Structure 1
């Protein structure tokens, strides 16, 4: 898999797609990373296509400050997820789990199909100024190409049995591992209370127009599971971005 696959699986569908989601465009995409001369501060300099990384006023991730959020009658999140065969890939930026068609997210009149989820360490989102050890971003796409991401925060605790098959696989770059059966619903916490805001992809090309929902209740990962991910990626999180007047809503 090419290093820009994560944005390719999401952005390819949006622009044609997250800096980690489309396929054919990956060959020409310049290398980007989380440190050195290709770190987030330089993403916009690497390619004209990454201009939103610097110019957009709706960038993700953000620091969610509870005292500054607005309570709202947000629609309940319905995770219409189904189990099935899946594929775990190391795309050079993260571990990503590609999922078969048939799962979707519904919130009121909004509905989008689940494409994949991937991990960042520490969590890209901050809550009241603090990161969690890890986060999973569940990426969804509507029939008209709009993206919606659900962030599931992880705290250190007992082993996450739902994710055990993924953490047992954790392939090296370029060696995808098939999973005969995986149920993404097992990763979602029981409490679906959430924060909602307008944001962007957190990797090049940083396209905005992404609907973000961050679940308030974290789920547990064991120290061994976090350590296994750190063996591949010690840090792959973009720094938080300015709100620029955006309002973060929180479900009542």
Structure 2
């Protein structure tokens, strides 16, 4: 009759069974310390072996996790740091096309009007707008337009050579009222030759008087200038031209803006845009029909600074153009 094997006799067989299990991770862990004699039964050893097998199975599952699986920080630690930097620095598709150009806008060369829309993202309206200015004022509809109510008064002013034109900034308080809205004069400036044309006719120069209402809407009055006699207000402006481009000259005398307006204030009206970048649309244009004269010498002064600073004509695009009867 055989003796019943003791706990120590069962241990080698259990260990052999464990080592034969596929994927076991015993090499990385120390062997369990042998139990003191007589303290562990065969049932206890089997329980310990079962617990150890469960732990090894869990470890095996973690070590075989597929690349890229969700899990947070553990995946980031194993990622290639060079690849992570490359992903962070990669530019989205189309980023290069949105970059700003170093070329300034101008009237000739690389920054000419036909390139304005590509120079800066905010200038895009210059290329894609459908209500752009200036236009040739033809095929007009003659109607009884309400009179423009000018409320101009003698004001202090300063003259700026801004690199694109001569601009005159005036004190607050000069307004016009049209179509139930009140607009305040912000500044006026000059273009040579005139940007606007009337039935194809272009004038020597034009003055644009830029107004805004309380909500930021813009109304611009265009005063056409043709060669003739001296113009009093323009001579006052020329008297205080700054000596350097980019400078501002604050005049010591006031300016009377009514001197720039023609006697007959009949006008054309249409909806258009600014004629310089960013070419924003929604501008109410009021082009006075009767031109104002200025002398050849006064034209020559401006031409010396800006021989040509007029944007080319833009498509009329079926816009309604009203003309006073």
TM range (shorter): 0.7 to 0.9
Structure 2 CA distance, aligned partners of 1:168 and 1:216?
Answer: 28
- Name the counterpart of 2:246: 174
- Name the counterpart of 1:187: 260
- Name the counterpart of 1:146: 217
Q: Which one has a bigger Cα radius of gyration? A: 2
The answer (yes or no) to whether the contact 2:103–2:110 under 8 Å persists in 1 is no
Secondary structure of 1:216's partner? strand
Question: What is the TM-score of this pair, normalised by structure 2?
Answer: 0.67
Structure 1 CA distance, aligned partners of 2:313 and 2:189?
Answer: 18
The answer (yes or no) to whether the contact 1:76–1:108 under 8 Å persists in 2 is no
Secondary structure of 1:92's partner? coil
- Name the counterpart of 2:147: 76
Secondary structure of 2:323's partner? strand
In the alignment, which of 197, 203, 206 is matched to residue 276 of structure 2?
A: 203
Structure having the higher strand fraction is 1
Gaps of 5+ in 1: 1-27
1:37 matched to 2:37? The reply is no
User: What RMSD, in angstroms, separates the aligned Cα atoms of the two structures?
Assistant: 1.3
The one of the two structures with greater contact order (alpha-carbon pairs below 8 A, sep at least 6) is 1
Gaps of 5+ in 2: 1-100
- Name the counterpart of 1:159: 230
- Name the counterpart of 1:235: 308
* Structure 1 position 30, deviation (Å): 5.6
- Name the counterpart of 1:54: 127
- Name the counterpart of 1:87: 158
What is the number of residues matched between the two proteins? 223
Secondary structure of 1:204's partner? coil
Pick closer, same or farther for the CA change 1:29–1:111 going to 2, 3 Å.
Answer: farther
Structure having the higher helix fraction is 2
- Name the counterpart of 2:38: none
* Structure 1 position 175, deviation (Å): 2.0
Question: What is the TM-score of this pair, normalised by structure 1?
Answer: 0.86
Q: Deviations over 1:84-121 (max 9, x none)?
A: 21000000000000000000011241210001100000
* Structure 1 position 72, deviation (Å): 1.9
The answer (yes or no) to whether the contact 1:170–1:229 under 8 Å persists in 2 is no
Secondary structure of 1:181's partner? coil
Structure 1 CA distance, aligned partners of 2:229 and 2:164?
Answer: 26
* More deviation, 114-123/71-80: 71-80
* Structure 1 position 146, deviation (Å): 0.2
Would you identify which runs of 4 or more consecutive aligned residues in structure 1 move more than 3 Å?
A: none
